[in-house]
Structure 1
């Protein structure tokens, strides 16, 4: 189904919550009980996007699909998806982040997220055996959709990676992290935690003076947008990003400032034309 383990865990938590609330599994409830529960969760949710309510519905959909039942079985409501364009950094902002990263580990982390367009889970899962410095390639193993792919490594990133590996001497995963107490938010291995990656990106962005809301995926969005602006075709970009559907990749066409479709403000032509007429 193309969903991550964390997504399945999230769905399971919501199904468990409604089961505990009623003392029976949701498929044994009538649709009115489910409607009342969802209405209660919608009113209780304080976030603008009503995240908890949405995840309740997604969890119930997941349960019904697992049981081979239609969504109409519990009369589940439809969820409207917000059409939000992703935040994209300018090249100057990415450069500032690379310059302001004090730790070599963070500099390499930013370099991989932006220079290879990696997702958070993918950058955490990079192993030494996935790096091919001779061919200047990184093998992204079992990314989203359970498909491997190769992405090119910049010569600048290769030099930085060699320096980092020599200094840190990682044995398996490229990025090692400290395990969190009682496994809170961490993993059962010694990989850099998701929380650690997110914290590092936000701290570096803050140090660089970037005012935009920056997350790990912001660097991936910037990677895709900048490649389109630099002339890469959409099909090649789709493969580099590991997208299953071309429609997902085409969303970046709405953001990229392509030379063939250059968009400008009328103020530019106003100033240019009127200043000439006054001379």
Structure 2
């Protein structure tokens, strides 16, 4: 008979603090899971006695044994630091855990024609509406699932995004093409509260949105694995290629820093097309 899995309880104040500072549901779930993993690694120890060197060793073992990603490494570190720094209020410098070196990979995008192929290949009207809304407004998947019916401002041609990343409200564009699709969708599906609802009128799970977008890429025979965030990146890149000012794109995407938005200049085909190779100058200048 298999042994029952050990029940690990979070330390007093951990979950309560996460809820008081209004972290998102997704972040709370992630922090709680990763901190419980951390507690399991030190079963006979009180948390206050664990030293920074031991925490670094713990993270190092996860990298070696489980090959955790840089993103997961950072999340696990954040979950641990939250307890020591925010719940216990201990010195930040003391718990300066080694972070992975930040990589500077460019965002992955698809072309306008590939977006169109995805929409044409998707016959389910709700799924088509989801894909069109993400791309048309440059939304994160968490922002999409939290959209309410009343957040679509048809009269102003705007979408209101409530308490997005950083708990900040913002607005994005509502395209004429999306208006047509959404009105058909609303008439047929008649959602109750959220713009897109699953079974029992419940809010969509973010993972389901990923499956819908990825499946659309497969149906369209695209030679890449398409994700919701790729649609957001593509939206920003295509806006830039149309000549939209970076400051407007920054506001629409909800970026705090302009440096985050500037990365799209590195993937814009139109920006590259304007650059003349010195080889052309050399050859063109010869008789």
TM-score by length of 1: 0.84
1:72-111 equivalences in 2 (<5 Å):
72-74=93-95, 76-111=97-132
Query: Using the alignment, how far apart are the partners of 1:212 and 1:192 within structure 2?
Result: 25
Matched, 1:254 2:270: no
1:198 matches 2:219: no
Classify the secondary structure of the residue corresponding to 1:145.
helix
Select between 257-266 and 88-97 the one with higher mean Cα deviation: 257-266
Query: Which residue of the partner structure matches residue 40 of structure 1?
Result: 61
Going from structure 1 to structure 2, the CA distance change for 1:105 and 1:50 (only over 3 Å counts) comes to same
Structure 1 residues without counterparts, runs of 5 or longer:
180-188
Aligned partner of residue 231 in structure 1, secondary structure: coil
2:224 to 212, 218, 227: 212
Aligned length: 264
Query: Which consecutive unaligned segments of at least 5 residues does structure 2 have?
Result: 1-20
Q: What is the aligned-residue RMSD (CA, Å)? A: 2.8
The one-character-per-residue Cα deviations of 1:126-180 (angstroms, maximum 9, x if unpaired) are: 111111212211111111111111212111111111111111111111111127x
Residue 4 of structure 2 corresponds to none
CA separation of 1:92 and 1:132: change in aligned 2, threshold 3 A: same
C-alpha change, 1:260 and 1:72, in structure 2 (3 Å) is closer
Distance 2:77 2:31 in 1: 9
Aligned residue for 2:165, secondary structure, equals coil
Correspondent of 1:142 among 155, 163, 166:
163
- Tell me if 1:11 matches 2:36: no
TM-superposition CA deviations, 1:90-116 (whole Å, max 9, x none):
111011111111101111111101000
Task: Give the distance between the partners of 2:231 and 2:46, measured in 1 at CA.
Answer: 41
Q: Which 4+ residue blocks in structure 1 deviate beyond 6 angstroms?
A: 264-267
1:97-176 matches, within 5 Å, as 97-176=118-197
